[in-house]
């Protein structure tokens, strides 16, 4: 288990540390309440992988892919989906070949991914973010 504390000033360094954990077959499931900073962190992870494309709000797009120096990275936001719809996105196949960050992984059925990095983002009292990272398998 690894714990990272960061603010908007140090988010670049935090994003880089998290980016090292991304690889095909090891999706990053990003937990945290609305406003915790999941999309903002993802945006900086994409930037740290030298992607030249802007991350738009996945609230409207559900799935977006980026070509990065390490290969394709998917940013998936399941907020608006139910368990039934998530089964139709083909995430298992994408996970085999590409890197993946999933917001609102609570929407997935239990044991959807057998192996993953669980990342839990929390807002501390002073506004600093705490990210707890654990490998689950």
* Residue 29 touches which member of ligand ADP, Mg ion, none, C-beta under 5-8 Å by kind: none
Decide if residue 39 touches Mg ion (CB under 5 A).
Answer: yes
| 3-state helix/strand/coil string of 78-116 | CCCCCHHHHCCCCHHHHHHHCEEEEECHHHCCCCCCCCE
Helix spans in 20-90 (H):
38-48, 83-86
- 13/97 with CB nearer ligand ADP: 13
Residue with tokens 């192996």: 115
- 33/92 with CB nearer ligand ADP: 33
- 90/127 with CB nearer ligand ADP: 127
Instruction: Answer for the pair 131, 4: CB distance below 8 angstroms, yes or no.
Output: yes
Q: How far is the CB of 12 from ligand ADP (least distance, A)?
A: 11
> Would you tell me which residues interact with Mg ion (CB under 5 A)?
38-39
């Amino acid at each position: 288990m690894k714990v990272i504390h960061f603010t908007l000033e140090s988010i670049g360094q935090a994003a880089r540390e998290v980016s090292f954990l991304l690889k095909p077959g090891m999706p990053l499931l990003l937990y945290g309440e609305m406003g915790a900073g999941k999309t903002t962190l993802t945006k900086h992870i994409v930037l740290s992988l030298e992607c030249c494309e802007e991350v738009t709000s996945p609230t409207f797009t559900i799935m977006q892919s980026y070509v990065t120096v390490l290969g394709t990275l998917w940013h998936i936001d399941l907020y608006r989906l139910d368990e039934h719809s998530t089964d139709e996105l083909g995430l298992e196949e994408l996970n085999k070949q590409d890197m993946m960050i999933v917001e609102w992984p609570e929407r997935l059925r239990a044991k959807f991914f057998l192996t993953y990095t669980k990342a839990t983002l929390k807002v501390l009292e002073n506004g600093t973010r705490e990210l707890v990272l654990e490998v689950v398998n």
